[in-house]
Amino acid sequence: MASFQLDIVTPEKTVYSGEIEHFHAPGVDGGFGVLARHQPMLAALGIGRVGFREADGTERTLAISGGFANVSGDGATILAEAAEFGDEIDIERARAARERAQERLDNRTPDVDVERAQAALGRAFMRLRVSGSE
């Protein structure tokens, strides 16, 4: 199967860089998959799971907190403000974040930013799912 270059970058580091066969990503209007020689594309990503198969057949999954996928002739790049592979996720921290967000949503006071709490809850859920703990 034809392979292409994928880079996953965050402001803090390059999370992944390598040859892959395909990847799928959580577009804001629904998930999509990309194979080699895809048409050039710029897509907005939501909070969710990115999965890809490396050229040697290994399947890998990571959680991202929204961003972009930029597909061009010389490969694809995923830009995210945060991206973590399943085995790097701190499960305890994700659980704590989920509980904090849940509590803020349950006991709403006027100064609770509902949108932000919901986004935090979504991120925590996604990280727990990708880490395979729940």
Interface positions with another protein (CB under 8 A): 7, 9-14, 27-29, 32, 39-44, 66-68, 70, 77, 79, 81-82
- The residue among 116 and 132 lying less far from another protein, judged by its C-beta, is 116
DSSP alpha helix (H) spans, 1-134: 91-106, 114-131
Q: How far is the CB of 82 from another protein (least distance, A)?
A: 7
Q: How far is the CB of 43 from another protein (least distance, A)?
A: 4
Is 124 strand, coil or helix?
Answer: helix
Is 16 strand, coil or helix?
Answer: strand
For residue 8, give the H/E element and its range. Answer: strand 4-9
Q: How far is the CB of 6 from another protein (least distance, A)?
A: 12
